[in-house]
Amino acid sequence: MSTPGQSRARLEPASGWAPAPDCALCPRLEGFRSANTAAHPEWFNGPVPSFGPLDARLLVVGLAPGLKGANRTGRPFTGDYAGDLLYESLIGTGFARGTYGRRADDGLVLVNCRITNAVRCVPPQNKPTGAEMRNCRRFLAAEIAALERLELILALGRIAHDNVLSALAERRADHPFAHGAWHRLGNGLLLVDSYHCSRLNTNTGRLTGEMFVGLLRDIRARLEPGSKATGGSRHK
Ligand code: SF4
């Protein structure tokens, strides 16, 4: 079994475009990481690396690690409620293979799909500031640029949607957020929005499992060979 520290080294490519494990660009978040490390030294407590193959055609973008989810386990969406819906839905639609065990060493494999967060460090109360989102956007932009086969981005929630647009220098007014809305971006990528798969949204019925799986099925259809929906190659 790997420790959280070993998971970090295993999951992050040594490419230079991901944040360093001790990234200090956001003093508040660095302080929160340190406090969590003191209180829970067995947790991951670092910038959570993206998960999934670098040749993925689909990138799922969330907001930020959850305190007892990704910040604890070291893998996006792993170990909290949102991850249950996300990973089971990815398995059910062929974007993941294996069994989701709510831990980074469960052996789950993403297929043609990668998952990241707009902000890599856990923020207090799940709320990053505007400055923190701007700081971390360089890593989101660099990651999108580095995924050479990327065709489609799934934004989980309005804040992820806004950060993707800003990372790609798109005007937010041209692409209003709405669940199930598709946006053709200037560089040829396709952005699709979903309500975040949080407990709040599912408990209130704003997002159901059927809605989420239905959207992933639509994404799969768009990525089918011969589909015109993705519009072919992207421009960088
Ligand atoms: S949120 Fe991003 S930019 Fe801020 S400290 Fe963490 S890794 Fe660095």
In the reported structure, the alpha carbon of residue 158 is separated from the centroid of ligand 1 by a whole-number distance in angstroms of 20
**pLDDT (tens digit per residue) in 186-200:** 999 999 999 999 999
Query: Three-state SS string across 109-141, please?
Result: EECCEEEEECCCCCCHHHCCCHHHHHHHHHHHH
Are 66 and 41 within 8 A, CB to CB?
no
Query: What is the residue with the minimal CA distance to atom 4 of ligand 1?
Result: 26
pLDDT in tens, 90-113: 999 999 999 999 999 999 999 999
Is residue 169's pLDDT more than 70? Answer: yes
Higher pLDDT, 163 or 1: 163
What is the rounded CA–CA span in Å between residue 56 and residue 95?
A: 10
pTM: 0.91
> Please, which residues bridge with residue 44 across strands?
none
> Who wins on pLDDT, 8 or 69?
69
Judge whether residue 46 has pLDDT over 50. Answer: yes
Closest atom of ligand 1 relative to the 23 alpha carbon: 8
Which domains does the chain possess?
42-223 (3.40.470.10)
Best residue for ligand 1 mutational test, from 36, 63, 67, 121 (most atoms within 8 Å of Cβ): 121
The whole-angstrom separation of Cα 185 and Cα 205 is: 30
Instruction: Pick the range with the lowest mean pLDDT from 8-12, 100-104, 175-179, 212-216.
Output: 8-12
